[in-house]
Amino acid sequence: MAEHFHVNTPLLECMRMSKRLGIPVYLKMENSQPSGSFKIRGIGHLCQQLARQSKGVVCASGGNAGVAAAYAARKMGVPSTIVIPSSSPQLVVQRLQDEGATVKIAGKVWDDANAEALRLAETEGLTYVPPFDHPLLWQGHSSVITEVAASLGPGVKPGAVLVAVGGGGLLCGIIQGLKNVGWMDVPVVAMETVGADCFNAALKAGKLVTLDDITSEAKCLGAKTACKQAFEYSQSNELNIISELVTDQQALQAVQTFLDEERVLVEMACGAALAAVYSGLIGRLQDEGRLPTLSGPLVVIVCGGGSINLEELSSLKHKLHV
Ligand code: PLV
């Protein structure tokens, strides 16, 4: 068996974004992972640690965690059951089935699907694979920063890292990675969409909060409650985590600009991070002094996502009037 399931992804200099911002911008291309998103880093690691002897894994997912779990399970010769909410697009079902997963649809949003996955783990004796809240996931995700450090080479440190937040698993992995390579002082800009903003809401409230509903179309950011570790990091004086929101329209516009300029199609969850560049937010944060003048390149985690194709893109454009 391969040592791990993820691949070492390219770190690409992005001339168009660099020109826009007037600073070097690098793209960490997690969309090119075998499962289509960064999720395979953490989930692959967790499955290798916890599911080798398993009679089956079960994962609740907006889409990408499920594809990663199904991919890892297939490679390990273990059956997988993936529970998704009815809000996930139909194309996700097909992708999961292509990976050999048994797909169940439960509830309207991820939290509903998760309740069903936990029930199945209990009643059927399956190994539960959490999509964002587990130290093994964060450890797996942290490899993204180790790779960035290796690609940038000695003496080059990012000015900031730009990342999307759903339940906060990727954010925790990034922070862990920054700690591992001694880059604790690098600010992290953590992006969500309005209506899938559990992390931002927690920061505003000064404690974890559970959203009433997910009203954003960025369904893969749609956890109602952020993980505790992400919130705790946000409260640490040693770290600089800047939480910001964009609208669904801005996230979708960013998906389209990225497709047009970089010829890569990503889903809205990733568009939320890209929108920080295209909407001028990064520049604004610098003008307001909330983000220090960047002493190194901006590293954008292109988290990817498979819940999109041309049909889904045009349906989202129609729905959001973009
Ligand atoms: N998506 C999770 C949680 O959904 C899932 O089940 O796939 N970018 C993409 C493309 C994602 O798929 C996700 C998470 C994120 C960003 C955010 O990552 P997180 O949850 O670790 O903050 C409800």
For the chain, the structural domain boundaries read: 11-38+134-320, 40-128
- Across the range 9-36, mean pLDDT stands at 98
**Could you tell me if the CB of 166 is within 6 A of ligand 1?**
yes
**Could you tell me if the CB of 24 is within 6 A of ligand 1?**
no
Q: Contact 165/221 with Cβ under 8 angstroms?
A: yes
The predicted pLDDT at position 2 comes to 61
| Pair type for strands 25-29 and 11-13 | antiparallel
What pLDDT, in 10s, does the model give residues 42-65? 999 999 999 999 999 999 999 999
Residue nearest to atom 21 of ligand 1 (CA): 169
Distance 258 CA to ligand 1 centre (A): 19
Q: Is 60 helix (H, G, I), strand (E, B) or coil?
A: strand
Distance CA(25)–CA(282), nearest Å, equals 11
As a CATH number, domain 40-128 is 3.40.50.1100
Distance CA(47)–CA(69), nearest Å, equals 8
Q: Contact 83/59 with Cβ under 8 angstroms?
A: yes
**Could you tell me if the CB of 177 is within 6 A of ligand 1?**
no
The predicted pLDDT at position 3 comes to 84
Beta bridge partners of 241: 188
Residue nearest to atom 15 of ligand 1 (CA): 166
What pLDDT, in 10s, does the model give residues 123-146? 999 999 999 999 999 999 999 999
Distance CA(55)–CA(275), nearest Å, equals 42
**Could you tell me if the CB of 64 is within 6 A of ligand 1?**
yes
Is the sign of the CA dihedral 310, 112, 250, 176 positive or negative?
negative
Distance CA(160)–CA(11), nearest Å, equals 15
In percent, the amount of the chain with pLDDT more than 70 equals 99
- Across the range 221-246, mean pLDDT stands at 97
Smallest CA-to-CA distance from 187 within 265, 298, 271 is with 298
Architecture of the 11-38+134-320 domain: 3-Layer(aba) Sandwich (3.40)
**Could you tell me if the CB of 42 is within 6 A of ligand 1?**
no
Q: Is it the case that residue 1 has pLDDT exceeding 60?
A: no
Distance 224 CA to ligand 1 centre (A): 12
Residue 108: partners with Cβ closer than 8 Å, 6 or more residues away: 85, 86, 87
What pLDDT, in 10s, does the model give residues 196-222? 999 999 999 999 999 999 999 999 999
Q: Contact 227/267 with Cβ under 8 angstroms?
A: no
Q: Is it the case that residue 300 has pLDDT exceeding 60?
A: yes
- Across the range 90-117, mean pLDDT stands at 97
Residue of 111, 221, 303 with the most ligand 1 atoms within 8 Å of its CB, for mutation: 221
**Could you tell me if the CB of 130 is within 6 A of ligand 1?**
no
**Could you tell me if the CB of 65 is within 6 A of ligand 1?**
yes
Q: Contact 128/122 with Cβ under 8 angstroms?
A: no
Atom number, ligand 1, closest to the C-alpha of residue 110: 23
For 156, how many CA atoms within 13 A lie in the half-sphere containing its CB?
15
Residue nearest to atom 11 of ligand 1 (CA): 220
Residue of 103, 116, 170 with the most ligand 1 atoms within 8 Å of its CB, for mutation: 170
Q: Is 151 helix (H, G, I), strand (E, B) or coil?
A: helix
Q: Is it the case that residue 267 has pLDDT exceeding 90?
A: yes
2: tokens are 């391969």
Residue 296: partners with Cβ closer than 8 Å, 6 or more residues away: 24, 156, 157, 158, 159
| Pair type for strands 160-164 and 298-302 | parallel
Q: Is 1 helix (H, G, I), strand (E, B) or coil?
A: coil
The predicted pLDDT at position 119 comes to 98
Say yes or no: do domains 11-38+134-320 and 40-128 share a fold. Answer: yes
Distance 83 CA to ligand 1 centre (A): 14
- Across the range 63-75, mean pLDDT stands at 98
pTM of the entire predicted model: 0.98
Element (H, E) at 58: strand 57-60
How many angstroms from the chain centroid is the CA of residue 22?
A: 26
Residue of 29, 58, 64 with the most ligand 1 atoms within 8 Å of its CB, for mutation: 64
**Could you tell me if the CB of 175 is within 6 A of ligand 1?**
no
**Could you tell me if the CB of 220 is within 6 A of ligand 1?**
yes
User: Phi and psi at residue 274, in whole multiples of 5°?
Assistant: -60, -30
229: tokens are 């570790």
What pLDDT, in 10s, does the model give residues 142-194? 999 999 999 999 999 999 999 999 999 999 999 999 999 999 999 999 999 99
